Structure 1
Amino acid sequence: MTKEQKYIFTSTRLGFRNWEEKDVEELYKINSDSRVMEFFPTLLTKNQTIEFIEKMKIQFKKNGFCYFAVEKLENKEFIGFIGLSEQNYEADFTQCIDIGWRIKCNEWNQGFATEGAKRCLEYAEKNLNIDKVYSIAPKINIKSEAVMKKIGLEKVKEFEHPLLRDDERLKTCILYQSK
């Protein structure tokens, strides 16, 4: 891919691409922001951020998708990730493909998560032939649930997340799926 072709696909305002070394510092800033990580058990370390990016690169190479690095097209500014990822933890709906997003807080409330997630669903269906996509979040994360509704997902149920069982605040999660 040349520099001009670095995006796998775009939406109106966003470019979706594979991860690059330069993304580590920017994603680490996002992962260590307590506002962004409010509905996660802990902030992520720099090493955990590097491991996450490496996992996404492997998923992309294997499947043609991951939680994509996302930039604003107007200025090429990295704002976080939006995309698709395999989920393999023990639950009655896994192994599945999850759609998720994490965007730096100064870019919130501008419709980027909704715009990007809608485009990722379209990419999943038309380019990857994925017919069912799920989205999972702690029940108290009403902002993420609002995005799930805006992108046309339907609520399936509430469940106790096996990886969050020890966290009273986060363990009850919601599961949405594409129609």
Structure 2
Amino acid sequence: MKFYLQTERLILRELQESDLEGMFELDSNPEVHKYLGNKPITTRKQAKDNIAFIKEQYKKRGVGRFACIEKVSGDFIGWSGLKLNQGKKESLNGFTNFIDIGYRFIPRYWNKGYASESAFACLDFGFNKLHYDIIYGAADVANIGSNKVLQKIGLEFVNEFVHEGVDVNWYELKRTGYER
């Protein structure tokens, strides 16, 4: 399956090798990684490996994060999308084999509504095209922006848990709640 979604201001498509510079700018930024374990990448090879990892998810898991392209500029601004978390290595809050929604943007594109705009499109894709019954989300308790986006797109707070020493909020949205 080829992934390609459009919103009013964004194109969401499969990540490509041509996204290397954008991925490097995104994932090498300490500000971006403030609530992601403070482990920004340091080389373009790491960015290339991240792209390859996500592309492999498309093949093996049937879904993955999408490159977000700003229509007006044609710029890679980050990624957004769904991910199938599998196995113990990717378990979270006691869950394994679940779909989560996530987004990550280059800071100069923050506070423009791109996270919620792209996430709404991804929820629609997940529920109406891929027929998922439930989509989860997680955000560091201190990451006010990410928590607001998850709530804005309709995910409901379930509980708080600790992951790698960090307090994290856990959210979910069931298809029945989405259809309302």
Task: Give the TM-score normalised by structure 1.
Answer: 0.87
After the TM superposition, which segments of 4 or more aligned residues of structure 1 sit over 6 Å from their partners?
A: none
Matched, 1:44 2:41: yes
Residue pair 1:13, 1:74 contacting (<8 A) in 2 also = yes
Distance 1:157 1:79, change over 3 A: same
Matched, 1:99 2:98: no
Residue pair 2:61, 2:84 contacting (<8 A) in 1 also = no
- 1:26 is paired with a residue whose SS is helix
Residue pair 1:7, 1:15 contacting (<8 A) in 2 also = no
Distance 1:95 1:63, change over 3 A: closer
- Partner in structure 1 of residue 91 of structure 2: 90
Residue pair 1:155, 1:175 contacting (<8 A) in 2 also = yes
- Partner in structure 1 of residue 120 of structure 2: 118
Residue pair 2:85, 2:91 contacting (<8 A) in 1 also = no
- Partner in structure 2 of residue 168 of structure 1: none
Structure 2 residues not aligned, in runs of 5+: 175-180
Q: How many residues align?
A: 168
Distance between the aligned counterparts of 2:112 and 2:58, measured in 1? 27
- 2:77 is paired with a residue whose SS is strand
Residue pair 2:63, 2:84 contacting (<8 A) in 1 also = no
Paired residue for 1:172, among 148, 167, 173? 167
- 2:29 is paired with a residue whose SS is coil
* More deviation, 58-67/127-136: 58-67
Select the structure that is richer in strand: 2
Paired residue for 2:70, among 63, 69, 72? 72
| % same residue | 35
Residue pair 1:39, 1:138 contacting (<8 A) in 2 also = yes
1:120-135 matches, within 5 Å, as 120-135=122-137
Q: Deviations over 1:52-94 (max 9, x none)?
A: 2111101112344211011012222110000011223234222
Distance between the aligned counterparts of 1:118 and 1:142, measured in 2? 18
Query: Aligned-pair distance for 1:155?
Result: 0.5
Query: Aligned-pair distance for 1:150?
Result: 0.4
Residue pair 2:85, 2:96 contacting (<8 A) in 1 also = yes
Task: Give the TM-score normalised by structure 2.
Answer: 0.86
> 1:9 is matched by which residue type in structure 2?
L
Query: Aligned-pair distance for 1:45?
Result: 3.0
Matched, 1:30 2:32: no
- 1:16 is paired with a residue whose SS is strand
Distance 1:125 1:7, change over 3 A: closer
- 2:134 is paired with a residue whose SS is coil
Matched, 1:148 2:153: no
Query: Aligned-pair distance for 1:24?
Result: 1.5
- 2:111 is paired with a residue whose SS is coil
Matched, 1:13 2:14: no
